Amino acid sequence: MELEEKFRLIAAAVLFAGVLAVASQAYAYKNMENELAPWYGPMISQDEIAAAMWADENLAHWQLFSADLFACEMLTAVARQYCSVGGAWELADNANQRFADNEKVFTTPSALEAWQLSKKYGVKYVLVEARQSFYGYGYKLPNAGKFSDTKYFRLIHRVGRASVYEVVGA
């Protein structure tokens, strides 16, 4: 085999390997797109910001909210509210339990359980949006239907996909 022919075979093999690598990356990204979407999307939606601005104008300040981690931080800054998670939780008592309980408020299908956990921590309001959010341990979809149970929660404001509920009896 001549040197020129060997070079062409090597070049073709390298080109084929490159095309295969690019194609496999594109395939892998398409398969992971749904899993990665929350990490690439906005941490806080425009609807959540609008709900926080409404809360700042319409609710007493420094009330305790439950929301996802990023919305909690935003509620503290924008709406002058306290929140169930966020901040320097390594300094809080039972920080891991608090994060787990906050997540459970949003992921449990039980309105009673969500209400009991809200009452346990003195939560007065809940901010929830119908999208994957970071409630404590990873991005999860909320089980938001339970918040329509008027025995435990009362809708007080909705903007787009974000809703603010009052915890009944808080």
Q: What is the pLDDT of residues 9-35, one digit of tens each?
A: 676 666 666 655 665 665 655 666 666
Average pLDDT over residues 55-82: 93
| Confidence at residue 6, expressed as pLDDT on a 0 to 100 scale | 67
Helix (H) or strand (E) holding 24: helix 3-40
**Cβ partners under 8 Å of residue 92, min gap 6:** 98
Taking the C-alpha atoms of residue 113 and residue 3, their distance in angstroms, rounded to an integer, is 75
Taking the C-alpha atoms of residue 11 and residue 15, their distance in angstroms, rounded to an integer, is 6
Burial 24-33 (b: 16+ CB within 10 A, else e): eeeeeeeeee
Say yes or no to pLDDT of 89 above 70. no
Q: For residue 128, list its beta bridge partners.
A: 163
Taking the C-alpha atoms of residue 150 and residue 140, their distance in angstroms, rounded to an integer, is 24
Burial 83-117 (b: 16+ CB within 10 A, else e): bbbbeeeeeeeeeeebbebbbbbbbbeebeebbeb
Taking the C-alpha atoms of residue 168 and residue 170, their distance in angstroms, rounded to an integer, is 6
| Confidence at residue 5, expressed as pLDDT on a 0 to 100 scale | 75
- The pLDDT-based confidence of 165 (bands split at 50, 70, 90) is very high
More confident residue, 66 or 86: 66
More confident residue, 7 or 52: 52
| Confidence at residue 8, expressed as pLDDT on a 0 to 100 scale | 72
Please answer whether residues 139 and 107 qualify as being in contact, where contact means their C-beta atoms are separated by less than 8 angstroms: no
Taking the C-alpha atoms of residue 93 and residue 126, their distance in angstroms, rounded to an integer, is 22
Say yes or no to pLDDT of 112 above 90. yes
| Confidence at residue 121, expressed as pLDDT on a 0 to 100 scale | 92
Average pLDDT over residues 141-145: 95
What's the whole-model pTM score? 0.77
| Confidence at residue 161, expressed as pLDDT on a 0 to 100 scale | 95
Average pLDDT over residues 99-106: 94
Say yes or no to pLDDT of 137 above 90. no
**Cβ partners under 8 Å of residue 58, min gap 6:** 157
Say yes or no to pLDDT of 144 above 90. yes
Say yes or no to pLDDT of 150 above 70. yes
| Confidence at residue 4, expressed as pLDDT on a 0 to 100 scale | 73
